[in-house]
Structure 1
Amino acid sequence: MLFKNYQEYLSYEKKFSQNTITAYIKDVKDFQKFLNNNDTKISSEINYSFIRQWIVFLSENKYSKISINRKIASLKSYFNFLVNIGKIQSSPLKAHKNLKGSSKIVIPFSEEEIKKLFDNFETSKINDRDKLIIEIFYSTGIRREELINIKIEDIFFNNAMIKIVGKRNKERMIPILPKLSEQMMNYINKNDPKVYLFEIGKSKKISVSTVYRIINKYFRSVSTKVKISPHVLRHTFATHMLNNGADINTIKEILGHSSLSSTQIYTKIKLPKIVKDYNKSHPREID
């Protein structure tokens, strides 16, 4: 019952995505399993020494500092929830600081790799879908979940804009290049999706695993990078925009970073400037 309440708390109050909720609950259950093996359970008796033992356990089992920090973030959220509902008086993670370590650098694809990939596409129904998925990632920098959840009603062809629903259900409008707008229109006319832009079966949106498989399938043929994912394409979008002269605040607006509200306060950036910078700086438009 407690986990169900916690799940509702993450969904309705924190407005986390389903994937994030699943990961948070799994992390808490893993911690509970660790405590069970040590004849303990999550209660008001839990102190930071138990957390420290778990961190040591995770480290000994080859978890990276990034993974450990993410698991601790899940626990911190759960303990805060328990405080809010009066199950415990204070969180044992109240003063915890993340483990320090070198951040993994995401290496973007080169403009040459992107050009080679698009030049080598063969025409077919499946290939047209796959090409459009990659075009959208590269032309907009949106997240994997954001692409999967694009609905037909979110695309405004007259204004060349898409409404994107980001983290915690925050909405933003982003521009699309004329050639991408034309590709999307052609795809819709040919495939007649009912609800989502990319569907499998009857109005069922495309899966996360399918999107990953598409990105890996095509980029393995043009790149030797170890890490290939939609997130790398997000970095690629931002890097290529910067390299072609886009203002960094415009890029933050389009990407929908968590610091978006702060950025708006200091830059007073407006939508027309976003569209102008975007159309001027994206490599697919420059070509």
Structure 2
Amino acid sequence: MQGLEPVPGQVLTPLPAAAAETPAPKPPIEVRPTPTVELLEPARPQPVPGQVPVALAEKKTIVSGILWENAGFWAHLDSFLKVQNSPHTQRAYQKDLEEFLVFLKTTGKPMNVHTLVEYRDQLKTRPSERTGQPLSHVSINRKIATLRSFLNWLVLNGVIPNNPAKAVHSFRAGRESPTRDIPNDRVKMMLDHAEHLGRHKIAGRLHHAILMVLFHLGLRRAELVGLRTSDFFEQDGARCIRVRGKGDKERVLPLPGRVAQAIDAYLS
């Protein structure tokens, strides 16, 4: 297309430049505050006196900062348990130590002689898990002996400077008996009743033989239930019984005449 020719005498006025497009203003950005999250420590069950509520591994977090601020403390505890020869001893020591650590956590007291004495005295009011009766002096002394051995282990390994449990005295345990005597009239009544039942039922003869063995030979319950018919025999013309005690140790006891008669009545 041809351009426009200018007319003589006409002044050409330049066209105005196109106005630049102005973008529409953007709405302001709303700045919201960042919510804060409060980290809460998970609730831990409160220890119950006389009860071990959590495992030893979990107790490592419970007593940190309460006992000794020593990174190798728990390694020493594990080593102390591993050097014990008997698995039964390992379990008993671990339970005793766990109970003491729970006591420290509950009371928040420092490790010293006064705390150990208070713990020893508190054990006198703690019921036994097996019988529900207060702990005997023998059981309390064993728990204190466990602490004494472990603290001595820490001294030898340079974890603590001294053993405060050495100054804690044990209870005198010789005057108390772990079992109660049965009155003689009660014993006679039980034997007579079992003997009467044995005249009519084989179960009565069994009960009579069991009671005769218990009362006349003084066997433990575990020794009684471990008896077999082959354990009754004659030796040099005398009736005897072979009994297996603690540690699989055997002993031979002579059978009194009345006890032998009760056993024969059941086996016949």
The structure whose Rg is larger is 2
TM-score by length of 2: 0.48
Higher helix share: 1
TM-score by length of 1: 0.45
